[in-house]
Amino acid sequence: MPRQDILIAIDGPAGSGKSTTARLLARALGVPHLNTGALYRAVTWALLKRGIWPGEPERISEALDALRLELRPASEGFRVWVDGQDVTDALYQPEVAAHASEVSALPAVRAWLLDRQRALGEAGGLVVEGRDIGTVVFPDADLKVFLVADLRERARRRWQELHSQGVEISPEQVEAELRKRDERDAMRPIAPLRPAADARILDTTTLSVEEQVARILQWAREIRRIRYGIAETSEAK
């Protein structure tokens, strides 16, 4: 099926502002937002539930063969269902977060999720957020944005988010964990975190959310109008 609307890839390290930016961007364009981190978290959730650890490749292959992962369209994005159960809210539990990076480094898991992600983006009209969207999943995305921000600022944002949720953690601890995750995501042999050669790199350290969204929106609207003939007025929601 030929693509009928813009496909946007938003990549970058943890805490660079991907999720908020992707969500607001999608809302402004009137298209859904796919957070691929949720897919890696869903697989992690399913493996933990079955008592399987990342160091057991054979059991992981078997579990993937039997795993039913569904994305059901919701108001602005997707709800994630595993084995007939809506697990979306459980994906952000600390236990899942603690193992998602390790699970996402497993080749079998990445291969298993690749086709599923591609099928969802085939027709376009989607903002896809992750680590390898512009490099591996959709190397032909219409617009690729790689968000970066200083480690200290990313840790501050993440700490604020956790703090407001009542999680007791020090800013130093958040910074150390982010650094560890960045290293693991960037050093893994398959689909490491890095910008595509044709990605636009946006440093959000000193930008407000509104500013970063406005900048990407400007690029997106222009591409959308030129390539797909979709003009500003039809986007207004």
Residues that bind ligand DC (CB under 6 A): 14, 36-37, 40-41, 100-101, 104, 130-133, 181, 185
What is the H or E stretch that residue 38 is in?
Answer: helix 37-49
Smallest separation (angstroms) from ligand DC to the CB of 104: 4
Considering beta carbons, is residue 142 or 185 the nearer one to ligand DC? 185
Q: Please say whether the beta carbons of 1 and 120 come within 8 A.
A: no
Q: How far is CA 19 from CA 110, 120, 147, in A?
A: 20, 18, 11
User: 216: which 2 tokens?
Assistant: 């990407």
Considering beta carbons, is residue 30 or 139 the nearer one to ligand DC? 139
Number of residues in the chain: 237
User: 142: which 2 tokens?
Assistant: 């219409």
Q: In the 3-class helix/strand/coil scheme, how is 156-187 assigned residue by residue?
A: HHHHHHHHHCCCCCCHHHHHHHHHHHHHHHHH
Considering beta carbons, is residue 98 or 123 the nearer one to ligand DC? 98
Q: Please say whether the beta carbons of 127 and 143 come within 8 A.
A: no
Smallest separation (angstroms) from ligand DC to the CB of 133: 6
Considering beta carbons, is residue 132 or 142 the nearer one to ligand DC? 132
Considering beta carbons, is residue 143 or 230 the nearer one to ligand DC? 143
> What's the half-sphere exposure (Cβ side, CA atoms, 13 Å) at 52?
19
